[in-house]
Structure 1
């Protein structure tokens, strides 16, 4: 691959991208950086007021940004189709499946449909969303599904017999499992897209170690203070955590089934191509998760 300059990504003036969870955190910076390329960026969030604040913040950095809001509640699977139906666009060049929740310090919660909330939001919601978006992605010249995983997801253990964490629920462990599920889904999706002869690519990214205290302030994101040294030697801000997703969306050399993460020990630095190995390369596990996800959602992503 050619050298990737995180500060000067290629222009994307005629393209349209959707970023879930774009009102704060890494998703916000993905949207801000993509807006700087001239693309139309749609912010997929539940809260309209927060989306408006995020768009105001992006325009303070990118005055000519072309932005829109898709009201999207990934925890409510039955609402996703009607949300997508409101888009009113003919094609979508990429969706960044970034939104996620970690219910630290809270008891196990279920959605109205009876799914554990973290798993439903982080994995099942995106599974359904990609299903609904596939016709728009297929209509693009080379659509992309970019799934934001997590460093902790690499070391998680997925229990296919307890995807809803009904036994011994622990918030951080459930979060890690949900991120592993997202990454496995993304790799399995690409295999199925290739088998179907689709032009859509599925790519994975992860942000490494991204801290609030190392993140530049924005109107929607105030840094929390704290010590920047020595954390800055090993970790990075959420603006840099967005770089792998942005590269996965824009780099013309990207191929389906690839994964991008920070260059330095997978924790900080410019995005680079990473090997897919271990559990992430377990095609049997991914296929079983896919079957389970179809059963839980009632949708089949590829056509």
Structure 2
């Protein structure tokens, strides 16, 4: 991995136009996903919000349209915790090509007990990692059909301090919610870097990029009714935290840059400029444990088996 590059010309408030392109954002109805979708919609692209709840998707689309006149947004029912539903969901896109997918949706649990998906996988690992792993398989033909598509995987600052336990990927033996969440995000990031290696090996034009939002708090996030309302009291109480962290609108900046910036290359990591926690997006160095080829290869093989999909993910 080469050293990070500042590239100070990028302006988060003046994004390049993207008319004629289509982007899918998983979990686009709330949080980082919502603001990623809102910012991408302002480029003129068609933005598809993937999520389980139609009502929440409708609310997010209404909010985006109120802030981005003429926004081209639509909802796709997408349940990453139900792997068998993904082929039909992708067919429901009704597209000839897809210019980018943002693997953003995620589950974060704070307390026991351990929960499982429809397929019996631990809920956070199964949704955050396996769901996106399998989704990539079914999106591969659409991504390959685009001239320069991108797979942008949204990781987490929490992954810095975790290590994967390849013998207990689903936390059967050691379930601690915060650790399990951090490991699920590390698995996602490892997947993103390994996907890039495999795409390069096949000569694919698809890029795989990893981004993370840093420290992004609801209490520092501007209101987007009815999606989310932040009270003045919440914002006031959270003001001291702005020295270290930011709102989810700013947390979306590295993700959006990973989708749009023509200078972004596969295998890169993008995050906030200030200690990786807040500020404008910049390219970051990739920590060795996030992109260890041996660990990634074992995770990849296990993921393909657990998700029941072709380990080649359909890229040719």
Q: What is the TM-score of this pair, normalised by structure 2?
A: 0.94
Of the three residues 17, 23, 44, the one matched with 1:11 is 17
Query: In the comparison of the two structures, how many residue pairs are matched?
Result: 303
Kindly report which structure 2 residues correspond to 1:58-73, keeping only aligned pairs within 5 A, or say none: 58-73=64-79
Write the distance in 1 (CA, Å) between the matches of 2:11 and 2:211: 17
286-295 vs 273-282, greater mean Cα deviation: 273-282
Write the distance in 2 (CA, Å) between the matches of 1:50 and 1:131: 26
Q: What is the TM-score of this pair, normalised by structure 1?
A: 0.98
Of the three residues 133, 146, 158, the one matched with 2:164 is 158
Mapped pair 1:262 → 2:272: yes
Tell me by how many angstroms 1:112 deviates.
Answer: 2.5
Which residue does 1:182 correspond to in 2?
188
Kindly report which structure 2 residues correspond to 1:5-84, keeping only aligned pairs within 5 A, or say none: 5-84=11-90
Tell me by how many angstroms 1:223 deviates.
Answer: 1.7
Identify unmatched segments of 5+ residues in structure 2: 1-6
Tell me by how many angstroms 1:240 deviates.
Answer: 0.1
Tell me by how many angstroms 1:293 deviates.
Answer: 0.4
Of the three residues 241, 253, 278, the one matched with 2:251 is 241
Write the distance in 2 (CA, Å) between the matches of 1:44 and 1:289: 25
Write the distance in 1 (CA, Å) between the matches of 2:9 and 2:269: 16
Which residue does 2:308 correspond to in 1?
298
Tell me by how many angstroms 1:180 deviates.
Answer: 0.1
Which secondary structure does the structure 2 equivalent of 1:133 belong to? helix
Moved over 3 A (4+): none
Identify unmatched segments of 5+ residues in structure 1: none
Write the distance in 1 (CA, Å) between the matches of 2:126 and 2:190: 15
Write the distance in 1 (CA, Å) between the matches of 2:294 and 2:98: 30
Write the distance in 1 (CA, Å) between the matches of 2:287 and 2:163: 14
Of the three residues 200, 215, 229, the one matched with 2:221 is 215
Write the distance in 1 (CA, Å) between the matches of 2:56 and 2:257: 26
Provide Cα deviations, 1:220-266, integer angstroms capped at 9, x if missing partner: 01126152332011100000000000000000011000010000000
Question: Is the CA contact (8 Å cut-off) linking 2:220 and 2:239 kept in structure 1?
Answer: no
Provide Cα deviations, 1:64-99, integer angstroms capped at 9, x if missing partner: 100111100000011101110111111000000000
Provide Cα deviations, 1:16-64, integer angstroms capped at 9, x if missing partner: 0000001110100000000000000000000001000000000111021
Which residue does 1:109 correspond to in 2?
115
Of the three residues 201, 209, 213, the one matched with 2:207 is 201
Mapped pair 1:284 → 2:290: no
Which secondary structure does the structure 2 equivalent of 1:230 belong to? helix
Which residue does 1:229 correspond to in 2?
239
Write the distance in 2 (CA, Å) between the matches of 1:154 and 1:130: 24
Tell me by how many angstroms 1:213 deviates.
Answer: 1.0
CA RMSD of aligned residues (A): 1.0
Question: Is the CA contact (8 Å cut-off) linking 2:106 and 2:127 kept in structure 1?
Answer: yes
Taking a change above 3 Å as real, the CA distance of residues 132 and 114 of structure 1, as seen in their structure-2 partners, is: same
